[in-house]
Homo-oligomer: A and B are copies of this chain.
Amino acid sequence: MTSTPNLLQHVRIVLCQTSHPGNIGAAARAMKTMGLSQLVLVNPKSFPHADAIAMASGASDILDNARVCSSLTEALSDTTLAIGMSARRRELSHELVSAHTSVQRAIATAHQAAVAFVFGTEMSGLSNAELDHCQLLAMIPANPEYSSLNLAAAVQIISYELRMAALDNPQPAHSETTQPLATNEDVERLYSHLEQTLIEIGFLNPDQPKRLMQRLRRLYGRTALEQEEVNILRGILSATQSPRPPESTNS
């Protein structure tokens, strides 16, 4: 199994005839935030350019290492899968899948060989001639009334999906951050303490308890209380039973 960083090294972002160099820089930044680094530019209108560097922020290394090509064929050298991005359905029926699905296929292939995501111009996307170089057509599901994704925003979504697919464990592990959970016994003692206190302050009438304790059990039962939280709540109950005036805490 290839590791996550290496897998993403096998994925190339190809931008065709980009008009605005700022978009190239913003795309480089989007790539780097997700761990991608292989940027290929086919006949960019202006590159290198100060706007690209400005928009790349800390990702100018991606620009420095970008390969500039004069044809899409050259850009796709050594790839085994090229996925063309499209904002609309095409007459010419390539297989069309969602961005999510296309990324699953790309990552599966990247274990063995280089793959490319190919983005067209800001105004009109990929030409049919460019699409002929792609094996698969992918669409980011967008608002049908306004599907005008910025080029770098589209690169951001694809890069994000690629990272998510490449990561073995996409979820940050909740267990790392959490404290030890309270045991069932701890929680039962909390409920007893709570019930006793509610009787003492006259909120719960033991002769007519209704469903108050059940309601409270349901509330706390949902939260998976931690040991430390049970200690805090029981501390509050003890202070409720034997309040000390606030002044005395400073004495």
Contacts and interface: CB of A to CB of B under 8 A. Distances in A.
Closest 3 CB pairs of A and B: A202-B244, A203-B239, A201-B243
Interface residues of A, number: 76
A65 interface: no
Interface stretch (A13-21, A123-131, A159-167): A159-167
A172 B141 contact: yes
Contacts of A139: 172
A177 interface: yes
Interface stretch (A43-51, A111-119, A229-237): A229-237
A2 interface: no
Given A146-B32, A147-B33, A249-B205, A96 B174 contact: yes
Contacts of A207: 249-250
Contacts of A177: 89, 93, 95-96
A181 interface: no
A29 interface: yes
Given A200-B246, A235-B203, A219 B215 contact: no
Contacts of A216: 232
